[in-house]
Amino acid sequence: MSAAQLALADAFQEAFGRDSAGIWAAPGRVNLIGEHTDYNGGFVLPFALPQTSRVAAAPRSDRIVHVRSLLNGETAEFSLDGLAPGVVEGWAAYAAGMLWSLEQAGHLLPGLDLLIDSDVPIGAGLSSSAALECSVGLAATELAGVELSHAELAQLAQHAENDFVGMPCGIMDQMASIAAQAERALLLDTRSMAIEHVPFTLAQDGLALLVIDSLAEHRLVDGEYAARRAQCETGARQLGLESLRELNDDGVAPEDLAARLEDPVILRRVRHVLTENTRVLAAKEALSIGAYAELGEILSASHASQRDDFEITVPETDTLVETLMSPHQDHGAQPALGARQVGGGFGGCVIALIDADSFDGLLGAVQENARQRGYTEPTGFLAQPSAGAHRLS
Ligand code: GAF
């Protein structure tokens, strides 16, 4: 056991007065590309981070669940009997919702003592909530002797988030957290649930993927995400389609949408989804052949589409992208090859494909720029494509 695992096992012993039966981990994710395509039956290309949610767990002989967080010291207690949306709220709803979703699907669980720790940045668009759901889901299924495929567990975690927490997310974050592999990006077709692990090792080409947290406010449970989803559904209905993905199947050109959609807002939303799906597949091809200049351009085009057509960026993330794409000789940094906001939108993180040697310089430049504009100073790290959810001990 690593020192961190030993510390979590010790903390479990202290909190519950007995040993945990094991420790499970599920990672946060970065979405390389494919934003707001997952609930439209489209394509996404995320990868998992080394930052994880970890849960030490042990079954109980009753149907009571204690879930304690090392992050805030709070404990939620509830019974699996009578568990329903609204019974548990706040951070613990993600854990409770996962257990509720498993039981709804007919998987009988024992009561559980759960101790949670996490180093996935919260509210940054890096899927701290999916990581929590998936780590709890993996622990609970293993302790109950329930065997589920990656897709089944991800879908139950999505059900928890949709119907227990009340966030109408797609399937990307949960699938990335469960099914990702180290040094690979995960191409997911969210309609068929087919996956492909795409080699993603930038270091050998002297490149890196920079993740910058704008620290701008980012809240998905407010109405904007749901509003975008509803607008996409309206667009599909007006076009007579089951999902906007069919536009890609039919090879519809973005220029031809205007003749078919009267409402300019719906037109912009639909155009983003159509062009973003095309960009995901192009990005996957570019990545596969090491065409990094092209990959960078595709990432930047995704940002422009999120800004102009989907309207989910904020001044802080737009400024970050502009700064990352500009020369900074004074900081000894090359401009990024491409940059975009990631996740649900309205703040959170920006990623940039960069020359590995430019990390310090680019981070310094965006921090200086943020200070000058009176924005919160962003933080940054280099992303390492990592393994999906697994048992640690
Ligand atoms: C959030 C959601 F949870 C995902 O399902 C996805 O829609 C994403 O926003 C936008 O691409 O992370």
Q: At 42, which CATH number? A: 3.30.230.10
Residue with tokens 């799906």: 277
Q: How far, CA to CA in Å, does 246 sit from each of 37, 171, 205, 231, 264? A: 12, 18, 36, 16, 20
Residue with tokens 């949960």: 174
pLDDT digits (tens, 9 = 90+) for 348-377: 999 999 999 999 999 999 999 999 999 999
The verdict on 217 and 339 lying in the same domain is yes
Retrieve residue 289's tokens: 């052949």
Measure 275 CA to ligand 1 centroid, in angstroms: 17
Of the three residues 165, 197, 229, the one that is the final residue of a domain is: 197
**Cα(294)–Cα(285) distance, rounded to whole angstroms?**
10
The domain that holds 260 is classified in CATH as: 3.30.70.890
The verdict on 229 and 241 lying in the same domain is yes
- For residue 388, being part of any structural domain is answered with no
The verdict on 169 and 302 lying in the same domain is no
pLDDT digits (tens, 9 = 90+) for 59-73: 999 999 999 999 999
* Sequential DSSP letters for 195-207: EEEEE---GGGTE
Average of pLDDT values for 298-310? 98
Quick one: pLDDT band at residue 1, thresholds 50, 70, 90?
confident
**Cα(339)–Cα(318) distance, rounded to whole angstroms?**
10
Residue 123: predicted pLDDT: 85
Residue 370: predicted pLDDT: 94
Q: How many domains does the chain have?
A: 2
- For residue 389, being part of any structural domain is answered with no
Residue 136: predicted pLDDT: 99
The verdict on 163 and 275 lying in the same domain is no
Domain span including residue 227 = 201-382
Residue with tokens 């010790």: 10
Q: Which of 113, 117, 173, 213 is catalytic?
A: 173
Q: Is 173 a catalytic residue?
A: yes
Instruction: Look at ligand 1, atom 3, and give the residue with the nearest C-alpha.
Output: 169
**Cα(384)–Cα(47) distance, rounded to whole angstroms?**
9
Average pLDDT of the chain, as a whole number? 96
The verdict on 8 and 93 lying in the same domain is yes
What pTM does this model have?
A: 0.97
- For residue 360, being part of any structural domain is answered with yes
The verdict on 92 and 193 lying in the same domain is yes
Residue 221: predicted pLDDT: 45
Residue 218: predicted pLDDT: 58
The verdict on 68 and 192 lying in the same domain is yes
Residue 193: predicted pLDDT: 98
- For residue 304, being part of any structural domain is answered with yes
The verdict on 103 and 213 lying in the same domain is no
The verdict on 49 and 193 lying in the same domain is yes
pLDDT digits (tens, 9 = 90+) for 172-203: 999 999 999 999 999 999 999 999 999 999 99
Of the three residues 197, 228, 257, the one that is the final residue of a domain is: 197
The verdict on 186 and 207 lying in the same domain is no
Measure 36 CA to ligand 1 centroid, in angstroms: 6
The verdict on 167 and 245 lying in the same domain is no
Residue with tokens 């965006």: 366
- For residue 387, being part of any structural domain is answered with no
Strands (E), 1-110: 22-33, 43-59, 64-69, 75-79
With a 6 Å cutoff on the Cβ, whether 170 touches ligand 1 is yes
- For residue 393, being part of any structural domain is answered with no
Query: Which residue, 341, 347, 136, 126, is CA-closest to 222?
Result: 347
At 7, the amino acid letter reads: A
Residue 76 has pLDDT above 50, yes or no: yes
The verdict on 158 and 217 lying in the same domain is no
Q: What is the CA radius of gyration of the chain?
A: 21
Average of pLDDT values for 82-105? 98
Residue 330: predicted pLDDT: 87
Query: Which residue, 256, 265, 229, is CA-closest to 244?
Result: 229
Of the three residues 143, 163, 197, the one that is the final residue of a domain is: 197
